[in-house]
Structure 1
Amino acid sequence: MDLRRWNVKHVRMTLDGAAAFVPFARDVAEIRAQVGSQAIEALLESARADIGADIPALPAELYLEYQRTGRREGYEDAQRARRNMLYRLTLTEWLEQSGEFVAAAENLLWARLEETNWAWPAHARTLDFPDRPTVDLAAAMSGLDLAEADYLLGDKLSPQLRARIRSETNRRTIAPFLERNDHWWLHTTPAKQVNNWTAVCVAGVVGAACYFETDLDRLAEIITRGLHSLADYLDTFDSQGGSSEGPDYWSYGFGNYVVLAHLLAERTGGQIDLLDLPIVREIAQFPVRTVLTQGVWASFSDSDSNPSFHPGLLSYLAKNLDLPALTELGTRNDFGVQMFNQFVWPLRQYAWPLPDKSVAFGGTPHDWFADMGWMISRLDPADPKSLRLAIKGGHNDEMHNQNDVGSLIVVQGGKVVLTDPGRGRYSKAYFGPERYANIMTSSRGHSVPVVNGFEQAEGAERAAKVLVHSNGADRDELALDMAAAYPAKAGLRQLQRSVSFDRHAPGGRIALSDSFSFANGGGIFNRCW
């Protein structure tokens, strides 16, 4: 299924005659049995504490803190606390059906509707005009949050509140998505490639429309626009399903793609199936192919070495794509509903809990992402303490880019002994013109050379060329031509990095060599470790 082949007429036809939209069970007895009494009791205790708690304030002064100082945590943390309270109250009422938590949930829902901006300060930069809301990650997630809370609580909510939820979700997310073309994340252009934002924003807006939109002609337009946008998102992946954003953003971006896949399948009677694409099965295996050892993943770009994979996401993909290794990555069900960015994850963790497995998948001996130039080698996948290597080529204009052509990670004894720094502290400067002054994003913070005092430069042309890649039972090799990653002032004529992973040597052995020459005969070549 090519997502770009869908048009409004075809989507409209799928909506005709589709069964009632019931994405989650009305009868929660089976869910309660799967989750278990201990988790239910813990959720019940937390939700009862939320009933009497103050709703965190989100004043304009706090929103504008980012604009004035570059700090984003103040507003985001208070907003997240507010949302987590609502998630707990809504889930508890859905599972308990007692009526005890409805009034407190209504208070929080009204508070969310009264927020001046749903977009985060780092994205909107200042307070929105009422007629031109910013549709960012947080705004799109808010629309779907409210739609799913409305679905779970249903007629327990007042009709005035339910009408206001629909009106505000349309004004702030659905209508701007359908009527405006100024969303940078909507499509890839010569000036900008889409990334995880596309999946998150499309899932939020189109997902909310699946719940709320009763005009099937309009809903068909919304879905079609979303499908064409998601086609651009899928184009960001390597042919082996890899993402230069790393495993962390796989969980976030592709996770939301899967959220929408479920909702669209339910809304269209299975006629639109976003999982029924060969590349999607490859993408779904990315965390399996990038695990270095138990609890440690390749941390290239702005990805952490120990990312959080949502249990419900892994469970749903494992079941629907027959990928049992996704349930063996060490992720466990955590029903605490703490520090989630959106309601979809705690809801789906309860609806789709992971099976309790003690198996820990350790990868395969070798994984290779040809389009990105990533090689991952493991001495003995069954032994988590054995030697592991990850190295990347790529270029310096990737999604969540760091200037890191040639960076490598080494794991021994279950611990990272040579690291790629991964994510830095997100701030105004981190995503601004000063980005590559930051040690976390500059090549000086990576295990790559400094040449005549010059670091690598940013840009798609600052790329590695793969000269050699081979793998076998005893040995993996990768050779990269890295000279183009450096500015002309560095004076390089040639720079080749060669890495071999020798499984035949006792305990395994990694050998690295850099061969280089200067255009003017001499210079200073320093490695950073």
Structure 2
Amino acid sequence: MGLAERWMAVGVEGRAEAVASARERAGVPDLTARGTWGTRDPAAVKAILAEADADRARPWPQTLLSDYARFWRDGARTPYETPAGELRRRTSTAVVAAALTADQAYVDQAADGLLLLCEQTTWCWAAHESFATERHEVLGDPDQPYLDLGAAETAEILAWADLVLGPALDDRVPGLRRRLRAEVRRRVIQPFRTDRRWHWLGLTGHLSNWNPWVHGHVLAATLFLEDDPEAQLEVADLVIDGLDRYLNSLPADGGCDEGYAYWWNGPARLAQALDLLDTITNGAFAPWSCTPLAELARYPQRMALGNGWYVNVADGSARPDPNQPWHLLHRWGRHHDDAGVLAQAAAHRDQSIAPVAGLGRALIGFTDDAWWASAKADLPLPRSTYLAELQVLVVRETAGTSNGLTLAIKGGHNNENHNHNDVGSFIAALDGTPVLIDLGQPTYTALSFSDRRYEHWVVRSDWHNVPLIDGQEQLPGAQYRATEVEAQENSLALDLSHAYPKVLRYRRVASLEAGAIRIADEWDGSAEQHFVIAGTPLDHAPGRLRIQTLTGGHVQLRWDAGAARLERRAVEDQLLEGVWGSIVHRLVITPDRNSFELTVTSARD
């Protein structure tokens, strides 16, 4: 039974009662419940109040038209998205501080931020504002709002703020709550109900993290801010329809082609929305046995390298922000009584709850007593994981520890979400730190999701750990894929020839055994081997290269044939520099025959 069938099985009366009573049943009380809010973890409360107090000492961020217009002028997104995101974060932090303390100063601070959000002409990010682009303009039209991630995230803040601060807002700023409702209805609820053109609905068959990300926020906005019970039920039914479509598009093995960083805004957003619906139905919805929800919850532990590093594919960072909403994964693990999932979440039990990940997530986390009662655990770190549908293998020397070598390699195809041309690319890590790397996500610009995407060096196969074959790079498109894929516990073999436009044969076998990662390739034609390196090359001689990793370990690369050169490239992108430093290197080897073997071993002093 799928999500939609389970939702319908609750019955019309049960669904209607659930959405009409959602504010009372959501499990997050308003700030008058001092028995809850006044007894939260002291260290977590202190961190939030310190953040809110620091915010109060600075002027509120401004969102300017000249910054918004830069997307069309020079392709820059961050000049507008940064202050817009800071306004949302700062407002969310003030809301949490007000709930925790019931202090009127924090209530006023939150109210100021909420009204500033209401006063924005548009909540849509410029990169998504296709309505303005169609008009050959650079300004969103309030009468034709575009429902994107920015609009949905802003509505989510207003909804959860109204839920927890309602009585205080009525007392301190009468009229603000009416304004919140009017803005959210006009900009989010009505466009969702009346317009089915939104690409993130997935009606064309292509689905991505936008689907649960937007649907989940629309759901919260409607449950907490819409007063019409019929409209609430209509939206809830549409949300389930959309989430069902998204869940059915995901691999049964629990993989996420957008990678770990986007997993938090894809499958984890799905689980959050389902958890809310299950809560307001008093458990009658019970979606947790739907395939592949249990497997999806295991994805973070399967991609963890350790020490804050993760296997990154597509537009994912190898070292994402550690302050994720781990309490949500813990709730998910409790639904399945999954010890590994619970341990993965509890390994981060000592991290703060950051409203930047979403106001609803922060409020749910603070009020989740089972999360606060859990003890810190060790990362589970499975010995070997193979995701058959994504064709991703991750294998480490020893289960349960990041010590030693880890190999990750992917097959797949070049039309994945947030795609990089990386069929057959691999990551080699020592003690959890990648040394042969996937660079990951660069700062997004107007090129990032345009037909010029592959002009960026980071997404091209030329800067992944795959060969240049007969002078050709890989091309984008689903037809460019791995074939003849064979997985074992310690190895993945695959044919890469179909990832290139005209290649007769190219076979790669990647393995980890006996303390060494081995990459063994055979082909017809000519090939130039490329390996992207993070860290410091220490000594380079024919057939070998010694490297110091970013965290001070040492690895030895050895290869059996061919002339080699070591290239140095400055990293001028702020996001990438924050992960890899200001310099990366590329080892380029031209074999003198139609086979090649590279070994990676630890070279501890």
With normalisation by structure 2, the TM-score equals: 0.79
Q: Which stretches in structure 2 are left out of the alignment for 5+ residues?
A: 131-137, 532-605
2:46 maps to what in 1?
Answer: 41
Structure 2 vs 1, CA of residues 185 and 17 (structure 1 numbering), >3 Å: closer, same or farther?
A: closer
Q: Which stretches in structure 1 are left out of the alignment for 5+ residues?
A: 519-523
Farther off after superposition, 399-408 or 415-424: 415-424
Deviation sequence 1:179-218 (CA, Å, 0-9, x none):
101100102425xx11000010000111211112333322
Structure 2 vs 1, CA of residues 426 and 11 (structure 1 numbering), >3 Å: closer, same or farther?
A: farther
Kindly report which structure 2 residues correspond to 1:425-504, keeping only aligned pairs within 5 A, or say none.
425-471=443-489, 476-488=490-502, 492-502=503-513
Q: 1:303 aligns with which of 302, 311, 316?
A: 316
Farther off after superposition, 147-156 or 382-391: 382-391
Q: 2:365 aligns with which of 322, 333, 349?
A: 349
Matches of 1:115 and 1:164 in 2, distance apart? 13
Kindly report which structure 2 residues correspond to 1:28-67, keeping only aligned pairs within 5 A, or say none.
28-30=34-36, 32-36=38-42, 38-51=43-56, 53-67=58-72
Instruction: Please say if 1:246 is aligned against 2:259.
Output: yes
1:521 maps to what in 2?
Answer: none
- Give the drift of 1:410: 1.0
Matches of 1:262 and 1:223 in 2, distance apart? 13
2:14 maps to what in 1?
Answer: 14
8 Å CA contact retained: 1:294, 1:362: no
Secondary structure, in 3 states, of the residue corresponding to 1:448? Answer: coil
Deviation sequence 1:309-333 (CA, Å, 0-9, x none):
3222223223333234335444244
- Give the drift of 1:411: 1.2
With normalisation by structure 1, the TM-score equals: 0.90
8 Å CA contact retained: 2:468, 2:528: yes
**Letter of the structure 2 residue corresponding to residue 146 of structure 1:** L
Secondary structure, in 3 states, of the residue corresponding to 2:315? Answer: coil
Q: 1:183 aligns with which of 198, 201, 211?
A: 198
Instruction: Please say if 1:375 is aligned against 2:393.
Output: yes
Identity of aligned residues (%): 28
**Letter of the structure 2 residue corresponding to residue 2 of structure 1:** G
Kindly report which structure 2 residues correspond to 1:156-167, keeping only aligned pairs within 5 A, or say none.
156-157=168-169, 158-167=173-182
Structure 2 vs 1, CA of residues 243 and 236 (structure 1 numbering), >3 Å: closer, same or farther?
A: farther
Farther off after superposition, 345-354 or 87-96: 345-354
Farther off after superposition, 5-14 or 303-312: 5-14
Instruction: Please say if 1:142 is aligned against 2:149.
Output: no
Secondary structure, in 3 states, of the residue corresponding to 2:104? Answer: coil
Matches of 1:372 and 1:444 in 2, distance apart? 22
8 Å CA contact retained: 1:328, 1:361: yes
1:513 maps to what in 2?
Answer: 520
1:2 maps to what in 2?
Answer: 2
8 Å CA contact retained: 1:293, 1:362: no
Secondary structure, in 3 states, of the residue corresponding to 2:390? Answer: coil
Deviation sequence 1:499-520 (CA, Å, 0-9, x none):
2222xx2xx22222111114xx
8 Å CA contact retained: 1:377, 1:388: yes
Matches of 2:300 and 2:9 in 1, distance apart? 37
- Give the drift of 1:41: 3.1
- Give the drift of 1:147: 0.5
Kindly report which structure 2 residues correspond to 1:193-208, keeping only aligned pairs within 5 A, or say none.
193-208=206-221
1:84 maps to what in 2?
Answer: 89
Matches of 1:100 and 1:527 in 2, distance apart? 61
**Letter of the structure 2 residue corresponding to residue 75 of structure 1:** Y
8 Å CA contact retained: 1:174, 1:206: no
- Give the drift of 1:141: 1.2
Secondary structure, in 3 states, of the residue corresponding to 2:417? Answer: coil
Matches of 1:238 and 1:9 in 2, distance apart? 25
**Letter of the structure 1 residue corresponding to residue 14 of structure 2:** T
Matches of 1:295 and 1:336 in 2, distance apart? 17
**Letter of the structure 2 residue corresponding to residue 226 of structure 1:** V
Bigger strand fraction: 2
Structure 2 vs 1, CA of residues 226 and 487 (structure 1 numbering), >3 Å: closer, same or farther?
A: same
Matches of 1:268 and 1:24 in 2, distance apart? 15
**Letter of the structure 2 residue corresponding to residue 368 of structure 1:** Y
Secondary structure, in 3 states, of the residue corresponding to 2:335? Answer: helix
Kindly report which structure 2 residues correspond to 1:46-445, keeping only aligned pairs within 5 A, or say none.
46-51=51-56, 53-124=58-129, 126-157=138-169, 158-189=173-204, 193-308=206-321, 309-329=324-344, 330-335=347-352, 337=354, 340=356, 342-352=358-368, 353=371, 357-445=375-463
Secondary structure, in 3 states, of the residue corresponding to 1:421? Answer: coil
8 Å CA contact retained: 1:195, 1:399: yes
2:568 maps to what in 1?
Answer: none
- Give the drift of 1:136: 0.8
8 Å CA contact retained: 1:94, 1:153: yes
Matches of 1:105 and 1:31 in 2, distance apart? 17
Structure 2 vs 1, CA of residues 387 and 52 (structure 1 numbering), >3 Å: closer, same or farther?
A: closer
Matches of 1:362 and 1:245 in 2, distance apart? 22
1:526 maps to what in 2?
Answer: 528
Matches of 1:7 and 1:406 in 2, distance apart? 41
Structure 2 vs 1, CA of residues 229 and 11 (structure 1 numbering), >3 Å: closer, same or farther?
A: farther
Secondary structure, in 3 states, of the residue corresponding to 2:393? Answer: strand
